[in-house]
Amino acid sequence: MEGISKKIYLVLEEPTEEDSRSSQMRILDGLKEQGLDAKMTVKVMRKLYPLCDEAQWKITVSLAWNGDCWTVVNLEKGDTSAEHYGIAVDLGSTTVVARLMDCAAGKCICEESCYNHQIAYGTDILTRIFHCKDNEKELEAMRKATVDSITECLNALEKKAGIAPESCISMVVSGNTTMIHFLLGMDAFCVFYTPYAVRADRPGFCRGKDLGFPVSGYVYCYPSKSNYLGGDIISGMVATEIYKKDEVSVFFDIGTNGELVIGNKEFLLCGAGAAGPALEGGVVRTGMRATEGAVDEVKLENGRFRIHVLGETEAKGICGSGIIDLLAELFLEGWVDIRGRLMPEKSPLIQEKEGSLAVEYAPGLYFFQKDIDEFIRTKAAAHTMVEIMLQESGLGMEEIGKFYVAGAFGKHVSKESAIAIGMYPDMERERIVNAGNSSLEGAEKLLLDKKVLDDIDKILDNMVYIQFGAVDGFLNMMIAAQALPHTDFQRFPSVMKELEKRNKEGKGVISGT
């Protein structure tokens, strides 16, 4: 497999008066013998002497693909072809994750992550966008914060693995449209403002130096399809390979925004919508990120909550996966009805609190009726997105091969809970696949396989964007989905079974509304 960088060990003839080719041509001819047409940077030209002589013409050249041709970007003495490194980055709006890749072995050496430094300018993307809108100085600060975030990861990787970013050839960055705009230093107001025509969506290969990174070669930024369908989704396609398959798959990336793709090797229907920050614990009173002290798992057993707290410490709040568990348990145990209304008669843990009902899911921590309502709207939006996409593609859920859930959601959320509340469709559990950090996986994959570049073109060509709001019946579908698990129970047979199993009152809840 040919990646977007190479290290090639060359044993060349020393120059003689009979063969007095230049050092440059000697190397480029050596590469040509291996079928590689390449150019050479000025930096490398400066390095030719005395390196080649000192190495007695046994040298290793680093090559980087720039989208059009191979470029010699570094020279080393002797055979260092095994020391071939690259970097894959998932530039998330909250978290930035970078992997140091051993490109010779095709393996990840280690991974590091950090909070996106942009957070200093606002926790949500819109605040950040407004912060630097039409303000060159603040835009530059935002760009720098973005570069600094990745650099923090690179430094951590260097500390951990002892491999400096200068030793890496290529870097692949995948992020949503706003993140890439900020990385390149472009105003991102366009992403959220009509007519939603962004600045640049095909940055391609940029020199490391031009973006502020010390890699010797190029930084490839995944292109975006549209304002809401960013490089992270394209990268997710590459990771899951749904664009290569015969069977139709669903790709679901849900965070502050939800992005959805349904398709196979022939078509890719895409949509995106504001899922609301509820999923990240944003509007929930005691909601918090999945850090130390967050309740991330919830069970109701014999009328009592059994919770898991991250960091095995005292509970401080609840994160996304905890919320979904909590809501599922409340519903399955009949503590809320299908509209999500808390039923105080079911447990003394459900009490009047600050003028509304709330359930005490951990000592002194309450989940309010308002929190539940907000969350149900969010999960209804998510469900409706899937429903619309299926309707548009003329397919039924039974025709879906795999249901990929990307990101932290896919990793941490319990499938059973997500199905119980009607957020995921009720399908065979093994068909629901945690796609992990597919944005990062896609970045990694491209780093190791240059052919992916052609795939990306194909993906962009095949993608058709569906405006959810423009679809007939959108609002009705949305309203119908605002029940647990859905107004149409038939869609969730396994949830019905679980309800029956858990308690007879389960049925009561359903029939009671």
Give the binding range for a second copy (CB under 8 A) out of 33-41, 381-389, 438-446, 480-488: 33-41
Q: Are strands 58-65 and 432-436 parallel, antiparallel or unpaired?
A: unpaired
Kindly state the smallest distance separating residue 204's Cβ from a second copy, in Å. Answer: 7
Q: How far is CA 336 from the centre of its chain?
A: 33
Closer residue to a second copy (CB): 60 or 224 = 224
Unique residue bearing structure tokens 């600094």: 148
Kindly state the smallest distance separating residue 50's Cβ from a second copy, in Å. Answer: 7
The 10 Å Cβ neighbour count of residue 274 is 12
Contact 225, 238 (CB under 8 A): no
Contact 284, 313 (CB under 8 A): no
221-260 residues near a second copy, rule: CB under 8 A: 226-227
Kindly state the smallest distance separating residue 203's Cβ from a second copy, in Å. Answer: 7
Closer residue to a second copy (CB): 309 or 463 = 463
Closer residue to a second copy (CB): 274 or 479 = 274
- In three-state secondary structure terms, 129 is helix
114-153 residues near a second copy, rule: CB under 8 A: 134
Closer residue to a second copy (CB): 185 or 277 = 185
Distance from C-alpha of 89 to C-alpha of 99, rounded to nearest angstrom: 6
Kindly state the smallest distance separating residue 477's Cβ from a second copy, in Å. Answer: 22
Kindly state the smallest distance separating residue 292's Cβ from a second copy, in Å. Answer: 39
Give the binding range for a second copy (CB under 8 A) out of 15-23, 79-87, 263-271, 447-455: 15-23
Which residues does 405 contact at the CB level (< 8 Å), separation at least 6? 252, 253, 254, 413, 424, 432, 433, 434, 435
- In three-state secondary structure terms, 98 is strand
- Specify the amino acid at residue 366: Y
Token pair for 312: 């095995």
- Binding residue (CB under 8 A) for a second copy from 91, 145, 211, 456: 211
Kindly state the smallest distance separating residue 65's Cβ from a second copy, in Å. Answer: 12
Can residue 17 be called a binding residue for a second copy (CB under 8 A)? yes
**String of contacts with a second copy for each residue 170-209, x by CB under 8 A:** --------------xxxx--x---xxxxxxxxxxx-x---
Give the binding range for a second copy (CB under 8 A) out of 18-26, 292-300, 315-323, 503-511: 18-26
Q: Contacts from 44-48 at CB under 8 Å and sequence distance 24+? A: 44/72, 44/73, 44/74, 44/75, 47/74, 47/75, 48/23, 48/24, 48/75
Contact 62, 73 (CB under 8 A): yes
Helix (H) or strand (E) run with residue 449 in it: none
**String of contacts with a second copy for each residue 39-58, x by CB under 8 A:** xxxxx-xx-xxx--------
Unique residue bearing structure tokens 């899911």: 361
- Binding residue (CB under 8 A) for a second copy from 1, 11, 25, 105: 25
Q: Residues interacting with a second copy, by CB under 8 A? A: 15-17, 19-26, 28, 39-43, 45-46, 48-50, 67-69, 134, 184-187, 190, 194-204, 206, 210-211, 226-227
